[in-house]
């Protein structure tokens, strides 16, 4: 029996919603609208649908996935997005350039500094603003810390999705130290709102530097002990090896980026491929692996933590003196024009494309998020795997729903 | 700015370009018609001296006068970002060929542009709404979609500065309040 009376859609005459929204059945209550939808929602011999989500602990946010099963094997899956959609792009068009930065913070909420960096970089290009060198170094320093925090969280979540509770407790210890450090620097634990057009919102302070100094002396040891917990765990390694394999041509066709692309052997890293900030001056390697499976994606992120520690070390040694903000008018009205900027985040390439019409608000602000791209690749590697592997494969891509749903 | 790249593009795509090649900072921009999207992007992707294998971004744009689809590409053959703008799509029925035959991962970005702007990507086999519910009526990022829709007509409408800047008093809700030729 329907909970609400029938409601006729006004958009698509083929769509009739005769059930209450919020009650999820796997098959949509209207005929298929596209080729792919028709193909997916046609059952073969012995197949069935199962609805996962939108509230499910393993989907890293509010994601609904419809699985098509043959026994316990997954044949195909159809992610249904939009439960976290806030319309950030539209909000940014109605805010001025300074305000737009804080709307981008909650996108990928575990790596907020990268969400800020891409629009800030695009705005600076649009306005021809130079950034003081000290501010560039502080940006690199704080964002690499944020990358480590994000990767540490990935380690914990991934093990949790496989059923291991211990690593997340360990990785939260690591992450909390970094997050408290960044709170001392920026004033906030997660949604920092720290980068400004032309610099950063405050110089390094004593509390941050002393916490960072303490942490740096033990960081390598802590990372090693945290990863040893999983690297030498036979259950974990045997479970992850060969799971969710993706090859290089497919990864490029799926426009993947970041660690997920590098795990297939492509050394594409925006910090080197299209350098920004002071990365050309810094020494670090781009770790790659060739297997392209879940284990490779996990190990690659652990290698990246070590490279980030190298970068932080160099930043601390080479930190120049000087101002941390360029002198700018309070009201910014860039000339009409377009700018595009990309940064390498923990999950891949974050980029922002901004169009100015000469007013103090962006005319159009496009935010590109790597998790959005990676989630659609999950369906490709599912066929033949078990239901439990869905969550393991999804976790190995490290998607954050806040960024996917914008 | 890669001046040499500009001359290469001008020579290779002389027939397809609808405007001058623009360069600023580390970006090179070319504008083409919607009909040339397949040939230009295939050439950019396949030819070894161009070799744009990496699609960085696909965005829809509503300038208030026309619709555009903007592709950002990366290649190791140039230090610039290449921006390919498919220009001059009509606002009433914007249509452009899909690039999913080159980059399957563009499928969701095209779904997003369809959802937000109503741009039809011909050849995309899964062109449904991706964020908004299936029975939703409008396309939220179009310039004739005002936040006024749900806010300014309420009793407190026009009080918050954010809503006021977007909604001139007495303007019909279908009016386009911002246009640009940038």
Look at residue B4 and tell me whether its pLDDT is greater than 60.
Answer: yes
Q: What DSSP designation does B20 have? A: P
Segment A97-112, tens digit of pLDDT: 988 998 998 888 888 9
Contact A274 B165 (CB under 8 A): no
If one counts the domains in chain A, the total is: 1
Residue A256 within a domain:
yes
Q: Interhelix angle for A112-127 vs A133-161, to 10°?
A: 150
CATH of the domain at A260: 1.10.645.10
pLDDT of residue B160: 44
User: Which residues of chain B does A95 touch, with a Cβ-Cβ cutoff of 8 Å?
Assistant: 162
User: Which residues of chain A does B107 touch, with a Cβ-Cβ cutoff of 8 Å?
Assistant: 376
User: Which residues of chain A does B56 touch, with a Cβ-Cβ cutoff of 8 Å?
Assistant: 255, 342, 349, 351, 368
Asked if residue B96 and residue B151 are part of one domain, the reply reads no
Residue A258 within a domain:
yes
Total beta-carbon pairs less than 8 A apart between chain A and chain B: 147
Residue A23 within a domain:
no
- The pTM of this model reads 0.87
Contact A274 B179 (CB under 8 A): no
pLDDT of residue A21: 53
Residue of B nearest to A373 (CA): B105
pLDDT, mean over chain A: 86
User: Which residues of chain B does A87 touch, with a Cβ-Cβ cutoff of 8 Å?
Assistant: 140
State the nearest Cα–Cα gap between B132 and chain A, in angstroms. Answer: 6
Residue B133 to residues A12, B138, B162: CA-CA distances in angstroms? Answer: 11, 11, 25
Segment A17-66, tens digit of pLDDT: 555 555 567 787 778 888 888 888 888 888 888 888 787 766 677 888 88
Contact A364 B116 (CB under 8 A): no
Reported confidence tier of residue A141, pLDDT bands at 50, 70, 90:
very high
Give the residue among A303, A307, A258 at the shortest CA–CA distance from A284. Answer: A307
If one counts the domains in chain B, the total is: 2
Asked if residue B159 and residue B118 are part of one domain, the reply reads no
pLDDT of residue A224: 80
A298 class by beta-carbon count within 10 Å (0-12 exposed, 13-18 middle, 19+ buried) = buried
Contact B147 A9 (CB under 8 A): no
Contact B83 A349 (CB under 8 A): no
Tokens of A179: 């997050």
Reported confidence tier of residue A11, pLDDT bands at 50, 70, 90:
low
Look at residue A3 and tell me whether its pLDDT is greater than 60.
Answer: no
Look at residue B150 and tell me whether its pLDDT is greater than 50.
Answer: no
pLDDT of residue A16: 56
Asked if residue B90 and residue B45 are part of one domain, the reply reads yes
User: Which residues of chain A does B133 touch, with a Cβ-Cβ cutoff of 8 Å?
Assistant: 21, 82
pLDDT of residue B174: 52
pLDDT of residue B177: 63
| Model ipTM value | 0.86
Establish if B79 touches chain A: CB-CB under 8 angstroms: yes
* Start-to-end C-alpha separation, chain A: 35
Residue A275 within a domain:
yes
- Residue A311 pairs in a beta bridge with none
Residue B134 within a domain:
no
pLDDT of residue B37: 93
Contact B81 A357 (CB under 8 A): no
Instruction: Identify the domain containing residue A318 by its residue range.
Output: 88-405
Segment B112-141, tens digit of pLDDT: 999 999 999 999 988 988 998 877 777 888
Instruction: Identify the domain containing residue B150 by its residue range.
Output: 146-182
Give the pLDDT mean for A219-235: 81
Residue A80 within a domain:
no
Tokens of A131: 């950034």
Asked if residue B165 and residue B103 are part of one domain, the reply reads no
Residues 6+ apart with CB under 8 A from B173: B146, B148, B149, B153
Residue B135 within a domain:
no
Asked if residue B101 and residue B60 are part of one domain, the reply reads yes
pLDDT of residue A380: 86
């Amino acid at each position: 029996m329907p909970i609400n009376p029938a409601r006729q859609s006004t958009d698509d005459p083929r769509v009739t919603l005769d059930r209450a929204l919020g009650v999820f059945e796997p098959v949509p209550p209207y005929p298929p609208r596209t080729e792919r939808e028709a193909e997916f929602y046609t059952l073969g011999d012995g197949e069935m649908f199962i609805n996962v989500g939108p509230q499910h602990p393993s989907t890293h946010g509010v994601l609904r996935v419809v699985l098509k099963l043959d026994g316990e094997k997954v044949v195909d899956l159809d992610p249904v997005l939009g439960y976290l959609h806030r319309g950030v792009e539209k909000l940014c068009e109605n805010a001025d350039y300074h305000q737009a930065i804080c709307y981008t913070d909650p996108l990928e909420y575990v790596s907020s500094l990268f969400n800020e960096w891409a629009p800030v970089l695009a705005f600076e290009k649009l306005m021809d603003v130079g950034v003081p060198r000290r501010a560039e170094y502080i940006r690199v320093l704080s964002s690499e810390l944020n990358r480590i925090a994000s990767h540490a969280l990935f380690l914990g979540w991934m093990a949790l999705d496989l059923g291991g509770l211990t690593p997340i407790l360990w990785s939260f210890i690591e992450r909390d130290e970094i997050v408290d450090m960044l709170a001392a620097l920026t004033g906030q634990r997660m949604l920092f709102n720290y980068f400004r057009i032309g610099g950063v919102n405050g110089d390094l302070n004593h509390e941050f530097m002393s916490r960072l100094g303490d942490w740096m002396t033990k960081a390598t040891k802590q990372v090693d002990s945290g990863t040893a917990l999983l690297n030498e765990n036979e259950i974990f390694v045997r479970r992850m090896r060969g799971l969710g394999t993706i090859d290089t041509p497919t990864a490029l066709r799926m426009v993947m980026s970041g660690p997920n692309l590098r795990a297939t052997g492509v050394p594409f890293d925006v910090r080197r491929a299209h350098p920004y900030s002071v990365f050309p001056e810094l020494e670090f390697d781009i770790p790659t692996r060739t297997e392209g499976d879940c284990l490779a994606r996990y190990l690659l992120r652990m290698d990246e933590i070590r490279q980030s520690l190298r970068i932080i070390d160099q930043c601390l040694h080479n930190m120049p003196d000087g101002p941390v903000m360029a002198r700018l008018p309070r009201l910014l009205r860039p000339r009409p024009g377009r700018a595009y900027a990309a940064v390498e985040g923990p999950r891949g390439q974050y980029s922002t494309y901004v169009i100015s019409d000469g007013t103090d608000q962006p005319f159009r602000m496009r935010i590109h998020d790597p998790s959005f791209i990676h989630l659609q690749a999950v369906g490709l590697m599912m066929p033949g795997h078990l239901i439990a592997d869905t969550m393991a494969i999804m976790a190995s891509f490290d998607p954050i729903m806040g960024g996917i749903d914008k | 700015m890669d001046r040499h790249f500009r001359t290469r593009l001008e020579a290779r795509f002389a027939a397809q370009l609808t405007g001058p090649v623009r360069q600023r900072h580390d970006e090179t921009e070319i504008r083409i018609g919607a009909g040339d999207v397949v040939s230009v992007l295939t050439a950019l992707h396949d030819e070894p001296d161009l070799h744009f294998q990496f699609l960085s971004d696909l965005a829809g744009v509503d300038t208030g006068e026309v619709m555009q689809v903007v592709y950002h590409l990366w290649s190791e053959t140039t230090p610039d970002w290449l921006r390919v703008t498919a220009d001059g799509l009509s606002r009433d029925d914007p249509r452009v060929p899909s690039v999913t035959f080159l980059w399957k991962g563009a499928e969701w970005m095209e779904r997003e542009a369809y959802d937000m702007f109503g741009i039809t990507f011909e050849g995309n086999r899964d062109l449904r709404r991706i964020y908004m519910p299936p029975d939703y009526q409008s396309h939220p990022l179009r310039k004739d979609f005002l936040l006024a829709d749900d806010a300014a007509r309420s009793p407190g409408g026009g009080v918050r500065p954010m809503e006021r800047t977007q909604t001139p008093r007495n303007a019909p809700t279908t009016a386009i309040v911002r246009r640009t030729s940038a």
